[in-house]
Structure 1
Amino acid sequence: MKFKQMMGRLAHVMGPWQVAFFAIISWLLAGVALQTLYLWVLSIRDDSVVLRGLSDSFIDLFGRGKYNNVVESPVLLLIKYLITLIIALLIFYIFYRLMRQRKLKKQLQTINYALGLGRPVDTESLVPEIRELEVNIEKMRARQRNLMKQEQEAQQAKNDLITNVSHDLRTPLTSILGYLSYIHDDRYRDEVELKYYTELVYDKAKHLHKLIDDLFSYTRLESAEYTLENDRLDMVELLRQLVAEFDGLARDKGMEIVETYEAENLVVSGDGNQIMRLFENLFSNALRYGEGNKNIDLAARKEGDFAVIDVINYGEEIPALDLPHLFDRFYKVDKNRTTTGTGLGLAIAKSIVERHGGLVMATSKHHKTTFTVKLPLIQM
């Protein structure tokens, strides 16, 4: 494995002809270096009385033939070739490092040029270290693009929020100012008309107050600094309380809330006030858009580790194109900005559910619209 990696690195730095060329040059230079070293050793021997004496003593003792056989023995030849090979490898490694530095410099210049033009770089031709550097640079550039995109989306969302809030605040405020001008200028005919204008102003002021309250709730839920309470909530008991609260409003509209609880022990952990706000928004939505003389069905059950609650109203279906946007802030299916809703109720409901680790979804078909809330149960 290491040999393959080494050959791979070598291939990234040198081509086949360069490897062959530098291998031959390295071998020749190693031979020259070894021969120079041999002559240098002979020179030292000839200049040294002790070494020359040892050589002469060996020749006198064993003879010139024996001496030549030892000098030219296969072992010494093998040692000679091994030394030559080691020197050749060292020289080749020096050539490799020089070529590598040259290629690294060239590739860095290429990357700098490409970065300056914003062009991608072909990483396949790069050496491993430069390839890793280029990959990391591309990751940084991708993260930077994502951050810029998120910043643009956040800026656009902020602009949309300001536009929508300005529009929704101006509409009731314009009506309030108009009716108050009639009262201020004494343009009403009698006390009956005065009371009529006063009630209109009061209704518009209540709508304005609810819009501001919903906007405050939504921005607070979207804030990372806002922390939820960690209450132990019995969902069946909580839903029964809400039914008792909304039962009178439903009867005024000729409707009835029908409860179906398939499980009694549905205990979740969360902020009781926010969970109440969640279902208040869903109940209000069901009462607003459900047709008269029809029931509002409320069902609760257990699915795995989740408590599942359905709030169902009957009436006009929500178009399929509008369903994915129901929980967007200020989104209204009828596109009529003068309706009594603030366009924030379902967005607040979604934020509350998601802050509790749950899920909310909507389906609408066969004149039946179902809002389904899933909240994680406490493991008993």
Structure 2
Amino acid sequence: MNKRRRLGIRGKWLGSITLSLIAGFTVSTLTPVFPASKYWFLFQLTPLATFFIAFFFTYFLLTRPFVQYLRTLADGLNVLAEGKLQHRVPVLRQDELTDVAANLNAMAERLESQIEKERLAEKSKMDLITGLSHDLRTPLTSIVGYLGLLKNQTYRDEAERDRIVENAENKALQLKKLIEDLFEYTRLTDGASELRVLIFDVRALAAQMAVEFEPIAAEHGASLRFTHADRLPANVAADPDRIRRALDNLLMNALKFSVKPGEIRMTVAVADACAEIAVRNLGDPVTAEQERQLFERFYKADASRSADRIQPGFGLGLTIARQIAELHGGSIRFAHENGSFLFALRLPLHG
């Protein structure tokens, strides 16, 4: 098919010449010869004139649609040049111009796709700036307000003053956590993060984190149950601070979106040359679209699903946890069914 299409214009050219030769030969055969006539020279030119007339006439008939389609392509190119990249040139022929039309349409699709990507990138950047401004301003405004109360001594007694100081400290810690998340995400994304790799038992790290996290969970109306298998070693070669950060993000995510009162389960298991630290919780079900967005940067679930007293973040917790896992050659496994959530950090065993 492609070869036939590429011979289209040549075929018209050869066809015109062939028909013209046939017409000229026929006229030459039928033209009488009068050597003694003074118009003998004109009679000899008749076949040649017939050839040229036939050639131009047949070539015009055969190439007229070709020229018209060229005008169509030119019009389509002008439309694309005006910025209307959704326009597509009609593909109506089976010759060389088919490739031209297809290439124009492909070029328009690529340009349209590139412009759409740039538009989405710009929108994402503006959304990021808006989100960062809002998330940073909220605790900062509270801190300024609490400091104003302390400065003006507008409190009733020492107990209220202590409560204001505690609230200001909590907001300052929230602000510190937001900035740390942002810097951590930037370092992981840019590849500027250096790992302090040690060989350690991830089971012991998880058990220590469970002890530390249990009172935090209890404060927000949840309990933490930690179980593990003692039979197999769970030594990994990793940066313990980063692994602690990833697990903390998974635990905080479970606490934010658990039903209250509820239970968070943390387990450590060894299988397939990997250590898996799983965090399970029950919460409100999410849609398939929300599932696909859980690990996207700056994605925040519906605020109504979160506990009221849990401090909000940038929506980077799960993204950072996954990046840390991948940085260690591991992964984050996710499963969800009817409000039952599972986030599991998988790390390759050492040795």
Using the size of structure 1 for normalisation, the TM-score is 0.64
Shift of 1:203: 0.8
- 1:340 alignment partner, one of 306, 311, 333: 311
Residue of structure 1 equivalent to 2:39: none
Shift of 1:278: 1.9
Bigger proportion of residues as helix: 1
Residues 19, 58 of structure 2: 8 Å contact kept: no
- 2:268 alignment partner, one of 286, 289, 299: 299
1:99, 1:379 → 2: CA distance?
Answer: 79
1:272, 1:97 → 2: CA distance?
Answer: 80
Residue of structure 1 equivalent to 2:142: 175
Q: Secondary structure at the match of 1:258?
A: strand
Matched, 1:256 2:225: yes
Relative to structure 1, the CA distance from residue 249 to residue 196 in structure 2 (aligned partners, 3 Å threshold; closer, same or farther) is same
Residues 363, 370 of structure 1: 8 Å contact kept: yes
Residue of structure 1 equivalent to 2:202: 238
Residues 362, 369 of structure 1: 8 Å contact kept: yes
Residue of structure 2 equivalent to 1:209: 176
- 2:159 alignment partner, one of 175, 192, 205: 192
Residue of structure 1 equivalent to 2:77: 115
Residue of structure 2 equivalent to 1:314: 281
Shift of 1:94: 11
Matched, 1:162 2:124: no
Deviation sequence 1:330-378 (CA, Å, 0-9, x none): 5034346873131321232234445667653533446642113456x59
1:301, 1:272 → 2: CA distance?
Answer: 18
Relative to structure 1, the CA distance from residue 293 to residue 153 in structure 2 (aligned partners, 3 Å threshold; closer, same or farther) is closer
Q: How many residues align?
A: 311
Superposition map of 1:52-63 within 5 A: none
Shift of 1:174: 1.7
2:70, 2:232 → 1: CA distance?
Answer: 66
For 2:293, give the aligned amino acid.
H
Q: Secondary structure at the match of 1:327?
A: coil
1:140, 1:355 → 2: CA distance?
Answer: 38
Matched, 1:24 2:19: yes
1:139, 1:261 → 2: CA distance?
Answer: 60
* Unaligned runs of at least 5 residues, structure 1: 35-87
Percent identity, aligned pairs only, is 25
For 1:339, give the aligned amino acid.
I
Residue of structure 1 equivalent to 2:106: 139
Relative to structure 1, the CA distance from residue 25 to residue 315 in structure 2 (aligned partners, 3 Å threshold; closer, same or farther) is closer
Deviation sequence 1:244-295 (CA, Å, 0-9, x none): 2342322663533212478647767x76654442222113333555566845
Residues 89, 105 of structure 2: 8 Å contact kept: no
Residues 13, 103 of structure 1: 8 Å contact kept: no
* Farther-moved stretch of structure 1 (308-317 vs 168-177): 308-317
2:57, 2:346 → 1: CA distance?
Answer: 68
Residue of structure 1 equivalent to 2:291: 323
Relative to structure 1, the CA distance from residue 272 to residue 255 in structure 2 (aligned partners, 3 Å threshold; closer, same or farther) is closer
1:28, 1:132 → 2: CA distance?
Answer: 34
Residue of structure 2 equivalent to 1:219: 186
- 1:362 alignment partner, one of 312, 315, 334: 334
1:250, 1:19 → 2: CA distance?
Answer: 88
For 1:360, give the aligned amino acid.
I
Q: Secondary structure at the match of 1:311?
A: strand
1:22, 1:244 → 2: CA distance?
Answer: 92
Deviation sequence 1:150-178 (CA, Å, 0-9, x none): 11111111122122222212221221111
For 2:228, give the aligned amino acid.
E
Residue of structure 2 equivalent to 1:68: none
Q: Secondary structure at the match of 1:187?
A: coil
Shift of 1:233: 7.0
Residue of structure 1 equivalent to 2:254: 286
Shift of 1:230: 7.0
